[in-house]
């Protein structure tokens, strides 16, 4: 049966129709034929979006690491599982075979157990893109501990918030990280974070930079000596299909980050199935996703999806611009990369450099190009297609979210005809719909509305850690019996989908979801600031950048505004991370508000984007006079 690997358009339609008409039969066939289960499920799917409650493969027993590692040992033991490419091109690459990965994951799992970690415990992983990051996540999964990976670019405050929210007992980190020409003191950030995390009893520290770091007695332990002494055999903990596998935090439109909970069985089946088809992966391909494992893209399409298919997956520590902007293409040539998956931000930054650094390298190994994180604009799409793909490697413009766990709308290369800026057709089993603001479904083609999903898919997040009510209100209350994505979309004349952007106060900057509320909270802590409003505006490289409108208290009016701007951005960097810094800061006497006191961000967004001709009726505002002043002083 070819359900698992779709190779032409007619087959896509055939399999898609089956997946929608008989979803339980379809996913049962995929799950039965391609994965290792310790016990079969009692039911394929039980769901109720009103609660909301979703169970896939209920009652089934498995361990995801047996599917990602153990079952490949007999046929792929000597095959490279993880190919580590360091930040410095002069440092040798590391090829970790499936057999070596098995031993290293087991050793790490035994170290976790020896340090008191057991099934259900939460472990925070704050590690750069080195092999220990992937191995630590798999080691947690091996023993049934729930991993919470935090991107190693977040500040101490952001890290502490995530550690405390999920009540982690342990933090895994490294002495530091290399990022381009810089070395970053990760251990110092962890130490600062742990000042406000009383429940962390152990910190395991991997050596990477060799920097001198503070080690707190009784809490901090060097990782390597523990690994050296650990056994390389560790029986896999048998998990229920619905046991949590990991928590991953995403910014919400309110201040507190949301810990999305992904469970084991459905997530494994869906990420493996999407990986196989969306990248048309075949046995000896070398696949590279440039994301960080700190994001969902890295969880699903660097670690779990590729390894479940016995793939060779590349782990890159560095940045696209170091030592120069040819670094990505040098790696493609060096490792003969077949599938390349990156973000529009990176593509735009590289396109700005012209083609000289591309032409130096042989990119003929590339078969499939992917884009992830935000919709890709037409200019970047064409550059990517022509200059990198040489018009022979289809681009998959993938739409999905931290909450969805896996790709939801995407072309299948060599199957779906692509169209610039369109994510094209729903993936197998995904049932999207467009809704108007009154809650009616928009039927037919050539319509635009709010993108919802009307039927569960196996990799969807099951809840928000510790706050199911927030999960219900955020995703299932806007439209009855539907998952609301928070995105707007249009469906063209042939049924292709194009994502038009967020409809709430989350801005996607360089592919990262940034809630405006936590940034505003950080700014408002500045003693000179009265209030603030953050909006996104179009940016050539990042897609969207952040524009801050800030009202000062009397004390701030007399201060040097350039210094104030620096202090505000430093505050944001310290509280959230450098990714959230403002590109533009405009000080204004007041902000436009409704009669109820709500700031009209819609108007501010239009001013920031220079769309001042269609602001709509501002006469109903509490303070309409401030709008013209803001327009006159815009940056």
396-410: average pLDDT: 97
Both tokens assigned to 120: 């259900």
Sign of torsion over alpha carbons 366, 510, 266, 109: positive
pLDDT of residue 470: 94
pLDDT of residue 413: 94
430-434: average pLDDT: 98
pLDDT of residue 215: 97
403-420: average pLDDT: 95
Q: What is the CATH number of domain 506-632?
A: 3.30.300.30
Domain made up of 9-319+398-472: CATH architecture: 3-Layer(aba) Sandwich (3.40)
Residue 34, C-beta contacts closer than 8 angstroms, at least 6 positions apart: 4, 269, 272, 273
pLDDT of residue 601: 83
299-315: average pLDDT: 98
pLDDT at 349 over 60: yes
pLDDT at 54 over 80: yes
pLDDT of residue 1: 40
d(CA 578, CA 583): 11
**Residue 572 CA neighbour count, 13 Å, CB half:** 25
pLDDT of residue 437: 79
Q: Mutual orientation of helices 131-143 and 98-114 as an angle, nearest 10°?
A: 60
446-455: average pLDDT: 94
In tens, the pLDDT along 194-233 reads 999 999 999 999 999 999 999 999 999 999 999 999 999 9
d(CA 130, CA 330): 19
Sign of torsion over alpha carbons 533, 538, 543, 545: negative
310-321: average pLDDT: 96
Report the candidate in 50, 122, 47, 56 with the shortest Cα–Cα distance to residue 471. 50
Three-state SS at 35:
coil
d(CA 214, CA 27): 50
Every domain of the chain with CATH number 3.40.50.12780 lies at 9-319+398-472
Q: For the chain, what is the mean pLDDT?
A: 93
The lowest-confidence range among 32-46, 128-142, 286-300, 487-501 is: 487-501
pLDDT of residue 573: 92
CA distances from 547 to 163, 415, 543, 562, 629 (A): 30, 41, 13, 15, 16
Tell me the pLDDT band of 596, cut-offs 50, 70 and 90.
low
Residue 529, C-beta contacts closer than 8 angstroms, at least 6 positions apart: 523, 550, 551, 552, 553, 556, 568
pLDDT at 373 over 90: no
Tell me the pLDDT band of 597, cut-offs 50, 70 and 90.
low
Q: What is the 3-class SS of 150-176, one letter each residue?
A: CCCCCCHHHHHHHHHHCCCCEEEEECC
99-106: average pLDDT: 98
Respond yes or no on whether the N-terminal peptide bond of residue 52 is cis (omega within 30° of 0). yes
387-407: average pLDDT: 96
In tens, the pLDDT along 515-568 reads 777 788 789 889 898 888 999 998 888 888 999 999 888 766 778 899 999 999
In the chain, the largest separation of any two C-alpha atoms, in whole Å, equals 74
Every domain of the chain with CATH number 3.30.300.30 lies at 506-632
Tell me the pLDDT band of 320, cut-offs 50, 70 and 90.
very high
pTM of the model: 0.88
DSSP state of 8: S
pLDDT at 59 over 80: yes
pLDDT at 22 over 50: yes
pLDDT at 148 over 90: yes
> 412 or 377, which is more confident?
412
């Amino acid at each position: 049966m070819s359900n698992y690997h779709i190779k032409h358009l007619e087959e896509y339609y055939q399999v898609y129709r089956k997946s929608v008409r008989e979803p339980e039969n379809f996913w049962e066939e995929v799950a039965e034929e391609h994965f290792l289960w310790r016990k079969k499920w009692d039911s394929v799917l039980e769901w109720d979006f009103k609660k909301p409650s979703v169970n896939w493969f209920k009652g089934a027993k498995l361990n995801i690491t047996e599917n990602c590692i153990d079952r490949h040992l007999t046929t792929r033991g000597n095959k490279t599982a993880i190919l580590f490419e360091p930040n410095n091109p002069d440092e040798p690459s590391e090829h970790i075979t499936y057999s070596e990965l098995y031993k290293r994951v087991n050793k790490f799992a035994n170290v976790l157990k020896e340090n008191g970690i057991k099934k259900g415990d939460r472990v925070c992983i704050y590690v750069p893109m080195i092999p220990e990051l992937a191995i630590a996540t798999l080691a947690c999964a091996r023993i049934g501990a729930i991993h919470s990976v935090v991107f190693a670019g977040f500040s101490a405050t952001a890290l502490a918030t995530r550690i405390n929210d999920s009540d982690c007992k342990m933090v895994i980190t490294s002495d530091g990280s290399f990022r381009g020409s810089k070395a970053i003191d990760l251990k110092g950030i962890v130490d600062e974070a742990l000042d406000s995390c009383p429940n962390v009893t152990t910190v395991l520290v991997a050596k990477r930079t060799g920097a001198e770091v503070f080690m707190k007695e009784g809490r901090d332990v060097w990782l390597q000596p523990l690994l050296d002494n650990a056994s390389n055999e560790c029986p896999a903990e048998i998990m229920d299909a619905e046991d949590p596998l990991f928590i991953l935090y995403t910014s919400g439109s309110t201040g507190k980050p949301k810990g999305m909970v992904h469970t084991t069985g459905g997530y494994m089946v869906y990420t493996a199935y999407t990986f196989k088809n969306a990248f048309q992966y075949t046995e000896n391909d070398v696949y590279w996703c440039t994301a960080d494992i700190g994001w969902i893209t890295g969880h699903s399409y660097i670690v779990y999806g590729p390894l479940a298919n016995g793939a060779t997956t590349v782990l890159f520590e560095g940045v696209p611009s170091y030592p120069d902007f040819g670094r990505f293409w040098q790696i493609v040539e060096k490792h003969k990369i077949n599938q390349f998956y990156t973000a529009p931000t990176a593509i735009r930054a590289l396109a700005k450099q012209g083609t000289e650094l591309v032409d130096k390298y042989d990119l003929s190994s590339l078969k499939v190009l992917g884009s992830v994180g935000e919709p890709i604009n037409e200019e970047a799409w064409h550059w990517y297609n022509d200059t990198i793909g040489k018009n022979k490697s289809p681009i998959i413009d993938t739409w999905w979210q931290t909450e969805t766990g896996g790709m939801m709308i995407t072309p299948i290369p060599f199957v779906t005809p692509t169209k610039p800026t369109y994510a094209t057709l729903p993936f197998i089993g995904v049932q999207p719909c467009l809704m108007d603001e009154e809650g009616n479904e928009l039927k037919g083609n050539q319509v635009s509305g709010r993108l919802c999903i009307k039927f569960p898919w196996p990799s969807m997040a099951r809840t928000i850690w510790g706050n199911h009510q927030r999960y219900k209100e955020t995703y299932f209350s806007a439209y009855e019996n539907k998952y609301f994505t928070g995105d707007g979309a249009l469906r063209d004349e042939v049924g292709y989908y194009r994502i038009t952007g967020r409809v709430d106060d989350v801005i996607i900057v360089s592919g990262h979801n940034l809630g405006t509320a936590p940034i505003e909270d950080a700014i408002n802590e500045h003693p000179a600031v009265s209030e603030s409003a953050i909006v996104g505006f179009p940016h050539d490289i990042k897609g969207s950048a952040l524009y801050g409108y800030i009202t000062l208290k009397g004390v701030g009016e007399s201060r040097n505004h350039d210094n104030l701007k620096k202090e505000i951005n430093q505050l944001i960097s310290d509280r959230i991370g450098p990714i959230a810094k403002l590109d533009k800061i405009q000080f204004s006497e007041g902000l436009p508000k409704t009669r109820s006191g709500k700031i009209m961000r819609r108007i501010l967004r239009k001013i920031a984007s220079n769309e001042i001709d269609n602001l709509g009726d501002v006469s109903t505002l509490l303070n309409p006079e401030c709008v013209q002043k803001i327009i006159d002083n815009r940056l």
